[in-house]
Amino acid sequence: MWLFDRDLWIEIFHTLGKNMFRTFLTMLGVIFAMVILVLLLGSANGMSNGFNKIFAGTASNSLFVWGQSTSEPYKGFERGRRIRYKIEDADILKKQIPEIEVLAPRIELGSHRSVVSVYRNGQTSGSAVYGDYPEIDEITKKKLVEGRFLNQTDIEHSKKVCVIGEETYKLLFDKGEKAIGQDIRINGVYFSVVGIYKPNNNINIDGENAVFIPFTTFQKAFNSGDRMGWMAIAVDPKTPVPLVEKQIKDILKHKYDIHPDDDRAIGSFDMSEIFNNITSFTMVLQGFSFFVGIFTLLAGVIAISNILLITVKERTKEIGVRRALGATPKIVKRQIVVEAIVLTAFAGLVGFAISVGILAIMNSMWGSGDDFPFANPMISIPQFVISFVLMVGLSVLIGLLPANRAVKVRPIEALREE
Amino acid sequence: MIEIKDLHKSYKMGSNSLHVLKGINFKVEEGELVAIMGSSGSGKSTLLNILGMLDGADSGEYTLDGVPIKNLSETKAAQYRNKFLGFIFQSFNLINYKSALENVALPLYYQKVPRKERQEKAMQYLEKVGLKPWAHHLPSELSGGQKQRVAIARAMAAEPKVLLADEPTGALDSKTSYEVMDLIQQINDEGNTILVVTHEEDIAHMCKRIVHLKDGVIVEDKKIEQVKAAQYV
């Protein structure tokens, strides 16, 4: 096998080593190209990872549904009627739409997005107060700093417990003060703190200044009866969210006598839409990086071809002598193509090493993803393999150019040149 | 060993064509030492290039050691050159980044001789031309005469049927020229067939036969009394 021919390699390193500076300059193009390719891809990946981190803990295949006011008169009702859901709706929807995996009803104290005064030992905070089912945690995960989230026992026994946000904790408690087991007062009712959560850089629909109490407790404590504010719904990942969204709305429209064309009566928010947008954005970014990187690489490899052409020109006489001594055109060509491959592969690896180093530095500086979506910028192994194979493939093709030039000259013409 | 019949060759120079060889007929037996003489433009280098399969003839026959040389592909030509011929050039044409030993071993590399054997053989030939102590020197560290002796060793290394020397003393002073000719005579005395292209009378007379070329035809072909170069060294 010629690949293991020691003399071939001696020949190649001889010729490349003979002119170190030029060899280095030649490689520079490919080194830069590889650095650019890896940095672009790595950054795109980092961005993608950063977004994933933000979405971690949020079921991407989820939607939220709440009631608004009608915009069309229907069945004797005037427009502007407020839609208020009942807790039974949750069961109706779950029963009628099997694609719904989780449905967490919620009720809010006061009007939507309003705050309520929460007291403790003379300290007050204006917080949002929600009555929730533990299932909500499957849709928007809370990162608990202390204690636990609401559970099924809390619901069954309508326990007067609550989980508070870190912001609320800061307002109600002194720094370092133990909150678990302490009571806070909302509208004259006391609740015992069982958990504190903090934002985990992800999408936080509820804010950090909020108090979560069991739904059933909420009903009793604040006399909400069978009212339900809104629903967080997770859909089977194989089913498109808009499909389920329409089914839900149709059922609700029918139940609450809403005009079928009234789009404003039921408010909803499709999380998967944002998620898909971001996914396609990062994919476009990755594709673009690859595109730019590969063309830069092509330019680098062409530079190598160029230098090899010059080298061949310089070595015309040497090649002539070799051919007079019995080197076949195949041997001459092979040597030049292998030179191209060795140069490209080596430069590519150097570039790769440099860029991986840069990515590591970038990661240690911004990789935590605290300030903007950026985490673990690194290229994947398949990405590396594809770029490397592509690069070497290109170098073979492009090495053939000077190689053919080298054998085109007849030995006699090569020898005549002084 | 070599047989040539009615060989023609012309070069195209723009619109006119230059008829360089106009029907050459000659024969070289094994063990001969032939000088091909002629002024510049007489076609002697062209003849040597055709003999060396570096160039093709337009018409005519060329047989080397019983093998007809015609319409060779570049690959075949390279293999025949390697097997049949050893080249000695006026400007030595050593590969400047290879040591004397590596230069001599190069034809053996193309014969796919294993590395160790190649080195040993190359060393033998270097010893033969008296340059064993210089084996690991680069051509730039050698004198002109030494370079030509390395080139001769290289030409001989593949044990070819015929040695072709194109003005082997053209770049050397007369003392060194005689040394090189002495070496060529020694090699010839061992039974090797050698063709020397030269335009120098004294060099030609150190061969055993002189072929005179003029305007693309052989005007004279005579056996001569060989002058031994050793007496001038």
ipTM of the complex: 0.88
Lowest mean pLDDT among A8-12, A260-264, A267-271, A295-299: A8-12
Answering whether pTM is above 0.95, one says no
One domain for residues A111 and A163? yes
Task: Confirm whether A136 is domain-assigned.
Answer: yes
Q: Which of B76, B80, B109 to mutate to test the interface with A (most CBs of A within 10 A)?
A: B109
Question: Which one-letter DSSP state was computed for residue B52?
Answer: T
CB-based contacts of A15, cutoff 8 Å, min separation 6: A311, A315, A335, A339, B97
CA distances from A215 to A27, A112, A151, A195 (A): 67, 16, 11, 16
**Number of domain units in chain A:** 2
pLDDT value at residue B141: 93
Q: Could you give the dihedral angle defined by the CA atoms of residues A98, A100, A104 and A106, in that order, rounded to the nearest 10 degrees?
A: -90
Contacts of A316 in chain B (CB under 8 A): none
Q: Please indicate, yes or no, if residue B194 is contained in any of the structural domains.
A: yes
The sign of the CA dihedral B27, B31, B32, B36 is positive
pLDDT band at A200 (very low <50, low <70, confident <90, very high): low
Same domain (yes/no): A211, A345: no
Nearest CA in chain B to A408: B74
In a domain, B57, yes or no: yes
Q: Would you say residue A283 has pLDDT above 90?
A: no
CATH of the domain at B188: 3.40.50.300
pLDDT at A368 > cutoff 80 = no
What mean pLDDT comes out for the span A104-112? 82
Query: For tokens 């096998």, what's the residue?
Result: A1
In a domain, B186, yes or no: yes
What pLDDT is recorded for position A384? 85
User: Coil, helix or strand for B53?
Assistant: coil
**Residue A239 confidence (pLDDT) above 90:** no
The torsion defined by the Cα of A274, A276, A281 and A287, in degrees rounded to 10, comes to 170
Q: Is B116 on the interface with A (CB under 8 A)?
A: no
Mutate to test the interface with A, among B101, B106, B197 (most CBs of A within 10 A): B106
Residues A135 and A195 in one domain: yes
Report yes or no on A62 lying in a domain: no
Q: Which of B54, B78, B93 sits opposite A327 (nearest CB)?
A: B78
Could you tell me the residue range of the domain that residue B63 belongs to? Answer: 2-94+159-232
Quick check: is B149 in a domain?
Answer: no
Q: What is the mean pLDDT of residues A302-323?
A: 84
Instruction: Determine the pLDDT at residue A173.
Output: 87
- Asked if residue A366 is part of any domain, the answer here is yes
Q: Is residue A262 part of a domain?
A: no
Whether B110 is covered by a domain: the verdict is no
Q: Which helix (H) or strand (E) holds B110?
A: helix B100-110
Assess if residue B154 is contained within a domain. Answer: no
Asked whether residue A90 falls in the same domain as residue A172, the answer is: yes
> Domain containing A311: what range?
2-56+276-416
Residue A72 lies in a domain: no
Of B54, B78, B115, the CB nearest to A326: B78
Asked if B75's CB is within 8 angstroms of A329's CB, the reply is yes
Q: Shortest Cα distance from A369 to chain B (angstroms)? A: 55
Q: Could you count the other beta carbons within 10 Å of the beta carbon of residue A111?
A: 7
Shared-domain flag, residues A244 and A117: yes
- Evaluate whether residue A299 is within a structural domain: yes
pLDDT tens-digit profile, chain B (233 residues): 899 999 999 888 778 888 888 999 989 999 999 999 988 878 888 888 889 888 888 889 999 888 888 888 888 888 898 889 999 988 888 988 889 999 999 999 888 888 899 999 999 999 988 899 999 999 999 998 899 999 999 999 988 989 999 888 888 888 889 989 999 999 999 989 999 998 888 999 999 999 999 988 999 999 998 888 888 87
Specify the pLDDT at position A367.
Answer: 63
Quick check: is A231 in a domain?
A: yes
Q: Using CB atoms and an 8 Å cut-off, which of residues 61-100 of chain B contact chain A? A: 74-75, 78-79, 81-83, 87, 89, 91, 93-95, 97-98
Is residue A213 scored above 80 in pLDDT?
yes
Residues A151 and A284 in one domain: no
